[in-house]
Structure 1
Amino acid sequence: MGFPFHPRLRPLTILTVIGLVVVLLSSCSRPSPPLIKLGITRWPGGAFLFLAQEKKYFEEEGVRVQLVEFVSTPDAIDAYKAGEIDGMTCSTLDMVKAAEESRRIPQAFIVSDSSNGGDVIMARDDIHRPEELSGARIGCENSHLCKYLLQSALDDAKLSEEQIDIHHITQLAMEDAFRQGEVDALVTRPPVSIRLEREPGVHAIYSSSELPTDILNVIVADKTLIDQQPEAIRSVIRAWERAYKFYTKNPDLAQRMMGQRIGLRPDEFARSLEKIRLVSPEEKEHYFGEDQGLLVSTEDTHRKLCDMGISDRESAVEKLIAPAALTTQP
């Protein structure tokens, strides 16, 4: 036995069904948000990407982001060159070298922070200043940033690379190498440097605080992606800025969330942030707008890399900065 049916309801019922079908078909045909794969290391300034992911800001801004974790920046650069990721967190030094070593063009679209003591040379208790590194075994990641910091320290101490013994060690292996006496000093950064501070007698003898404007950290994406998916990149920028604002309003909770992702206690993560200068969303106009602060800084860094013999003077660094129309507009 069927349900009773009133003839007057029939047109309305048909229209309702048609409307539902149209809605369902439109939702099925709507393209899914693009997937952007970003390489990330455990640098505290980049951890705001983890926070944006935890808070689901990427989803809410209409973009899918996969954070691909790497032990070291050189590993992330290799993955970028191989086309395995679309972009990464890195320093402007690494960005310049990635462009020189690849057919791809990385473009910075977010300035996250500048290192002001975060990148550091730590030594055992009988080495107190860079001048005492002569003859020392120094653990150093095979990265351009580590080479730059170490060379800067040697230049200040009037030492040459021939006067030290460099051991190429990944950040992951540095703590064990130091504790087992395989090296006398390390070129390192958080979270490793923060954990090493717990060790008796271990102390910093040189850091990026000696080079406060040199080590600028950015988030880059391949130029092709930026050209083809500008709205997706804007969504990433908005998610990043929301994570930053969440941190300013809820610092304790944010530090706990980000610290967990990079292996530090909340107090340790807070201490790691003291060694960098976070760049607020309000400063993006300075870096990407008329001041061209990012370009000026990158050109200066490039000149220093060239003077050290690390970089190619023919590199055109201006192509490594994303357009202001993309980065400064909401």
Structure 2
Amino acid sequence: MPNTFERLHRFFLLPFFARMSNLSLPCLILAFCLSLAACQPKQSQNSPITIAIGSWYGYYPLYYASDLGIDEKYGLSIKVLEPQNISSFRRIYVNEQVDFVGTSMIEFTNAKAFTKQDIQPVLVSDFSNGGDVVIARQNIQTPEQLKGKIIAVPSNGIGEYFMSLVFDDKEPSQHFKQFIIPETACQQAFDQNTIDACVTYPPISTHLLKNPELHKVLDTSAYPGQIYDLLWSKPHVNAQQRSAIKKVWYETVAAIEADPVAYHSYIAQLADVSVSSAEEAMLGIKLVNEQDMKDMFADVDALNKRIVAACYIAQGENCEKFANAFAPLDM
């Protein structure tokens, strides 16, 4: 039985050469090469993009965008890196070739110091909408009653920034006795009567609230849009790539809003948790869509002031350099 080349030779090349016998040999060879080239598969023109993220559901639309092929629609091929601890995360965004990074407001200010580079915010990915909570004993019923109490709050983090909003002070520890332990140690600290309250988040808060002696005093839904996460770019990223990643993000969030059940199932599988756990976690997170971003940029000064305030929590000085972190035309 003739192979593929024999068929090609018999049914195409011989008639072709017969019809074109008046052409020179170089022309015939050129025509043949061009005919073969036309049959080759086209190479992907998508630009490979590497994004490092912290382990936080607020960044998981980036995985979803790649899975749905939305990144390719805008000429990108997204690869997500998710280190499992803060030291590895920092090492990656400082030393390795990544293009975009997803962090909290506070970690963005740290990254500026660690990288010593002109890193630029691209978009707000999400904001805490009840995900961060203050769990306290029953004798504390209002935020005002937290004053002077012993509260478990990790230092230089989002919990401390949350308390700066509660007390309207960039140095919130002046208003309470700060007990520095990880959130996971709050249960034991309550049991030992070491603390009066704890700043934490699900699933830790869910577990703590099973104790009838404890309750939720307040959560971040009282401060909408004030505790947010962002996606920022390294200096080598060009304007076209920045624009493309915004389009990818907005279209992905729109897809999630259209079918949240599918997304909850997706992240549950990705994070190896139950769908109910994923749904519970997402209740406290507001993914920022295109209209949300426009609303935030309507008062870009306020957006920047929050980064300045976060910097004071993280570093305590030289924070006015973030006063123009988001430029008015970034949107």
Do they superpose with TM above 0.5?
yes
Quick one: percent identity of the two aligned structures? 19
Q: Does 1:212 align with 2:230?
A: no
Of 289, 310, 318, the residue aligned with 2:316 is 310
CA offset digits 1:14-61 (Å, max 9, x no partner): 53542323664x956x7762332322322x332222322332332443
Of 299, 303, 309, the residue aligned with 1:298 is 303
CA offset digits 1:199-256 (Å, max 9, x no partner): 655432233233334213221111x1333xx333333223222321221222211122
The 8 Å contact of residues 154 and 161 in structure 1, kept in 2 or not, is answered as no
* Unaligned residue ranges in structure 2 (runs of 5+): 21-27
**Cα 1:196–1:17 shift into 2, 3 Å:** farther
Does 76-85 or 240-249 show the bigger shift?
76-85
**Cα 1:202–1:19 shift into 2, 3 Å:** farther
**Cα 1:150–1:287 shift into 2, 3 Å:** closer
Aligned residues: 308
CA offset digits 1:52-84 (Å, max 9, x no partner): 233233244332322222456676455423446
1:17-56 counterparts in 2 under 5 A? 17-21=33-37, 24=40, 27=42, 33-42=47-56, 44-56=57-69
The 8 Å contact of residues 58 and 64 in structure 1, kept in 2 or not, is answered as yes
Number of the residue aligned with 2:269: 260
CA distance in 2, matches of 1:22, 1:221: 38
**Cα 1:78–1:261 shift into 2, 3 Å:** same
CA distance in 2, matches of 1:78, 1:311: 24
* Unaligned residue ranges in structure 1 (runs of 5+): none
The 8 Å contact of residues 151 and 199 in structure 2, kept in 1 or not, is answered as no
Of 268, 278, 294, the residue aligned with 2:287 is 278
Does 121-130 or 89-98 show the bigger shift?
121-130
CA offset digits 1:246-272 (Å, max 9, x no partner): 212222111221233345533443343
The 3-state SS of whatever aligns with 1:108 is strand
The 8 Å contact of residues 194 and 272 in structure 1, kept in 2 or not, is answered as no
1:144-293 counterparts in 2 under 5 A? 144-153=157-166, 160-161=173-174, 164-169=177-182, 174-175=183-184, 177-181=185-189, 184=195, 185-194=197-206, 196-197=208-209, 201-222=213-234, 224-227=235-238, 230-262=239-271, 264-287=273-296, 291=298, 293=299
Of 99, 110, 127, the residue aligned with 2:123 is 110
The 8 Å contact of residues 253 and 287 in structure 2, kept in 1 or not, is answered as no
Number of the residue aligned with 2:23: none
Cα displacement (A) at 1:90 = 2.4
Does 303-312 or 113-122 show the bigger shift?
303-312
Cα displacement (A) at 1:103 = 0.8
Q: Does 1:67 align with 2:80?
A: yes
TM-score normalised by L of structure 2 = 0.72
TM-score normalised by L of structure 1 = 0.73
**Cα 1:286–1:16 shift into 2, 3 Å:** farther
Higher Cα Rg: structure 1 or 2? Answer: 2
Residue 298 of structure 1 aligns with an amino acid whose one-letter code is L
